[in-house]
Structure 1
């Protein structure tokens, strides 16, 4: 039977397990995909703890981890057009990506360009797409200064590259250990930790024009204090706090068109997914710990053997 990495109830890592599961059956408008790679994101472990996205229903346990996947179409559901068995695709699965098989709804699935690896494609549907949506939402002109908190993670790395390509100056807050990584993107690195806001002021004496927060909580509160226009404050990490501060959550499009666009940015050299580590499915727990512990640089991906 196919294998999948799941959590059996809400809680910590002790709820996780690699299990055998039934192969999903595609419904109308869905693709059955043999997974070749799955992206790992902070939301994965947050969902395990009981975090619920707004409007999300209670999961059926055991619940398969993962909201990014790339692979090969094995079967198409009723009413599907534009996709066929054998197509290489990537997108946002509805049955979890940490698995040998998953289901992709066609509205959040895209054809993988031939020049894009499965591993890199699996890093795009959440991280790069969130970054793309956020940069579009801010709509900064060339020459503006964008502050990104959590700049060393998957979304931050993608947002920095997209903004820099549009002529925006980027100041990225990340740990000291990620200094060279953030600087290599072309961003100005500011070490996180006590008094980081003072270091931002020193790095951007004319102020920052927008904040793309990827940390939330106290960090978001502090970042908001660096802005005069709170309409240029967005967060991909803390919907409640950013709304209270006069900003907005990242407005996710969640469309195939956005997936096509971020794939194009990779193939034309504008965007590098920066997959810094890949783990096999039977080590999915290690992959998740790398992200949950906050030590990941760039993207972590799980590779599934064909």
Structure 2
């Protein structure tokens, strides 16, 4: 029987278990995929604790962890075009990624380029696609300056690289421990904390043209004052506060076209998913603990044996 890593109720790590689970059956517009790799994200443990995405239904328990995966199509559901059994794909999951089999919806599934590993592909649908949507939403011309708060996190690392690929200058806040890392991405590092706006002005004396906030709270309020045009204030971390400051939350497109674009950037060497650790499915608990600890640099991916 195929394996899946699930949470059986809302709560802490004690609710998690590796269980036997039959492969799900693909419905209209769905693909049954034999998982080769699954990305691990902070939202995974937040969902276990009871967080619900806006507009989503309560999780059916037991629920499989994970929202992004890469693998090989085992079966296609009705009304599916452009995909066939045996195709290598990656995308957002319907039935969880920490499993030997999952369902992917065709509208958020892309063909995996041969030059892109399953491991790297599985790290793209959440952080990199969010970053791509955000940088596109900022709509800046080449040569403009983008400030990213939280540039050392998963979305921030991807956003910095994508912005650089688009010809933007990037200034980013990150902890001192990540200073050298973000600098290696071509980011002008600024330490977070009190008097943040003052330090950003020193790092970008010509000003910043847009802000991508990945921190929220006091930092979001501090950097908002740097913008003459508050419509260029975009947040993925504080969707409640950003509208009160004249900005907007990141608009997620969640399309296969976006996945195609981030895959192209990865293949071209302009976007490194920075997968720093991998774990087998049997050690999914360790992978989740590493992300839940909050000090991971780069992405963690679960690899599933073929």
**TM-score for both structures, normalised by structure 2:** 0.96
Answer yes or no: is the 8 Å Cα contact 2:161–2:270 preserved in 1.
Answer: yes
Q: CA deviation at 1:66?
A: 0.9
Q: CA deviation at 1:214?
A: 1.2
Report the secondary structure of 2:90's partner residue: strand
The aligned residue for residue 169 of structure 2 is: 169
| Residue deviations 1:74-109 (CA, integer Å, cap 9, x gap) | 111112111111110000010011111100011111
The aligned residue for residue 81 of structure 2 is: 81
Matching of residue 204 in structure 1 with residue 210 in structure 2: no
The aligned residue for residue 304 of structure 1 is: 304
Answer yes or no: is the 8 Å Cα contact 2:196–2:222 preserved in 1.
Answer: no
Number of positions where the alignment pairs a residue of Structure 1 with one of Structure 2 = 306
Answer yes or no: is the 8 Å Cα contact 2:152–2:174 preserved in 1.
Answer: yes
| Residue deviations 1:165-198 (CA, integer Å, cap 9, x gap) | 2221101111111111101101111223444433
Matching of residue 149 in structure 1 with residue 145 in structure 2: no
Answer yes or no: is the 8 Å Cα contact 2:145–2:209 preserved in 1.
Answer: yes
Q: CA deviation at 1:269?
A: 1.8
Q: Matches of 2:151 and 2:296 in 1, distance apart?
A: 11
Report the secondary structure of 1:172's partner residue: strand
Answer yes or no: is the 8 Å Cα contact 1:153–1:299 preserved in 2.
Answer: no
Q: Matches of 1:47 and 1:220 in 2, distance apart?
A: 25
Q: Map 1:114-193; keep pairs closer than 5 Å.
A: 114-193=114-193
Answer yes or no: is the 8 Å Cα contact 1:175–1:193 preserved in 2.
Answer: no
Moved more, 100-109 or 197-206: 197-206
Answer yes or no: is the 8 Å Cα contact 1:30–1:104 preserved in 2.
Answer: yes
Moved more, 117-126 or 231-240: 231-240
For the structure 1 residues 218 and 21, does the alpha-carbon distance in structure 2 shift closer, same or farther, using more than 3 Å as the test? farther
The aligned residue for residue 42 of structure 1 is: 42
Instruction: List alignment gaps of at least 5 residues for structure 2.
Output: none
Q: Map 1:247-262; keep pairs closer than 5 Å.
A: 247-262=247-262
The aligned residue for residue 70 of structure 1 is: 70
Answer yes or no: is the 8 Å Cα contact 1:157–1:182 preserved in 2.
Answer: yes
Q: Matches of 1:101 and 1:50 in 2, distance apart?
A: 24
Q: CA deviation at 1:111?
A: 0.6
